[in-house]
Amino acid sequence: MAETFSKRERRKKKIERRREKEFRRDERRQLPVKQKSLEEMMAYVDENGNLSDTPPDPKNAYKAAVEDIVIDIPKALPDDPDAIPTGVVSYFDPSKGYGFIVNDQTQERLFVHVNSFAEPTTELSIGDKVSYTPTRSPRGMQATAVVKR
């Protein structure tokens, strides 16, 4: 059976593509590979944070103290560190004797217990304005010395 024209053309194109691919592969193998040395590949960061190819001068090295390195964002401090924080009672259950206060400035929620009132006769209800002293307890921040305003 004789080969048709289109089959013969497809076979020729396939053979030609295969030859071109082999030719390109041989060219790549024959090209000299220029490898860079470690010093040529090295990049440095200058004092402004920009990348550069020249190493920094060791005389200008800055030694940072471990205490100066801040890993997290510190909470905002009140304007006056001696000022007594104030807040609003967001929840209080007199039968159970505990509740929560929301700080006016930081919106932080603090636990408050009847035993931490400055005056034992004080009665709190939702929405009362209070001043307090924040203290850290094993379960989080707690309000002590609570005074109703």
Residue 3 has what pLDDT? 84
Residue 55 has what pLDDT? 87
Rounded CA-CA distance 145/132 in Å is: 5
Size (the chain), residues: 149
Sketch out the chain's domains with CATH numbers.
86-148 (2.40.50.140)
Rounded CA-CA distance 46/56 in Å is: 7
Rounded CA-CA distance 60/129 in Å is: 55
Rounded CA-CA distance 25/113 in Å is: 80
Q: Which residues pair with 147 in a beta bridge?
A: 131
How far apart, in Å, are the Cα atoms of 28 and each of 20, 22, 37, 76? 12, 10, 21, 62
Is 100 buried (19+), middle (13-18) or exposed (0-12) by CB count in 10 A?
A: middle
Q: Where are the beta strands (DSSP E) in the chain?
A: 44-45, 51-52, 86-93, 98-103, 109-113, 129-137, 140-148
Q: CB neighbours of 124 closer than 8 A, spacing ≥ 6? A: 89, 92, 94, 99, 112, 130, 146, 148
Q: Are 146 and 112 in contact (CB under 8 A)?
A: yes
User: Per residue in 16-55, pLDDT tens?
Assistant: 999 999 999 998 888 776 778 888 888 998 888 899 888 8
pTM score, two decimals?
A: 0.47
User: Per residue in 49-102, pLDDT tens?
Assistant: 899 888 888 888 888 899 888 888 777 665 676 788 999 999 999 999 999 999
> Virtual CA dihedral for 115, 118, 121, 122, nearest 10 degrees?
-100
